Amino acid sequence: MLLHVLGTAAGGGVPQWNCACPGCSGARAHPDRRRRHASLAVRADDDRWYLINATPDIADQMESTPALHPGPAARRTPVAGIALTDAELDHTLGIARLREADRIEVLATGPVRAALRDRAHLDDVLTPYIRLEWRELGSAPVPLSEGSDVEISAIPLSAKRPRYAARDTGCDQNRAERRADHRGEHRDDGPWVVAIRLHDRRTQGTVLYAPALATWPEPFETALAGADVVLLDGTFWDDDEPRRSGFSTRTAHGMGHLPIDGPNGTAVRLAPFAARCLYTHLNNTNPLVDPAAPQHEQLAELGLAVAAEGMEIEL
């Protein structure tokens, strides 16, 4: 199994077009600090690749990755499909960018598929251009593509809906849903946010990809114990970062992301595991977007690091 990290930023990328925070200003002054939206490419077999999430940067990400270039026929592409961790716009807008293809396969949970079809009207918009072939993404491992040794499965994380798919039952209900999400409860409408587990039956290598992590349920902990590589939510360094930065009145937890630092942060939870653990989905306010930030040394002391864009991982 071969993985290619296509992007490592949270919503808006780094720099974000309307932001002059230190992270964004630093990225404008130092282009090597720029980060595209978080995404991952996985080779299913010799000539077929799947993208984990389809971001607004999808075309640029593919052009920067020779393995994803079309050829040798004029209109042949090695990109066979997309697997989605959730229905957020930052992870799905790129599907529309692929409208020049004849068809594309999309793996998603039931709630995510329903949101994109019924709320975002993705099928209605794209049907004149491309045929979307939907596949159910569930907890049972299935081949990523027909005949592939790479299996894909989903681990439910939370019931956090994107804003465009929020229930129409009033603010009190929405607040109740957010409280349920923070407690790790899953309602009967199925998982909205999942971690994706990729397992190569031939090499026995296993990867866990969780760019949005609002809870730490037991199945996720179990999957961590069996993983060789983990790429997970590094949106915020600490819980108060969104409020301190001035762009939100909510904490990291309140925005649906477990912070990295702190007594219950993800860093101390990850440290005991043998897997190679890499943070992705960094917000522009996160000090880790600066390669010289001392927080990198703190992670290194725990055996952790930040994923680099363009890096390849073979298992």
Q: What is the pLDDT of residues 71-126, one digit of tens each?
A: 999 889 999 999 999 999 999 999 999 999 999 999 999 999 999 999 999 999 99
Q: Which domains does the chain have, with CATH numbers?
A: 2-314 (3.60.15.10)
pTM of the model: 0.92
Give the bridge partners for 236, in sequence order: none
Specify the residue for token string 């593919």: 62
- Cα 107 from chain centroid (whole Å): 14
Q: What is the CA radius of gyration of the chain?
A: 19
Q: For the ranges 154-158, 159-163, 173-177, 231-235, which has the lowest average pLDDT?
A: 173-177
Q: Residues 223-240: what's their mean pLDDT? A: 98
Please tell me the predicted confidence (pLDDT) of residue 47.
Answer: 87
Alpha-carbon torsion (73, 75, 77, 81), positive or negative: negative
d(CA 59, CA 283): 21
In whole angstroms, what is the distance from residue 211 CA to residue 38 CA?
Answer: 7
Rounded percentage of the chain residues whose pLDDT exceeds 90: 89
Reading the block at residue 173, the tokens are 């209900």
In the chain, the percentage of residues whose pLDDT exceeds 70 is: 93
Predicted pLDDT of residue 168? 60
Does 184 score more than 60 pLDDT? no
Residue 205: pLDDT band by 50, 70, 90 thresholds? very high
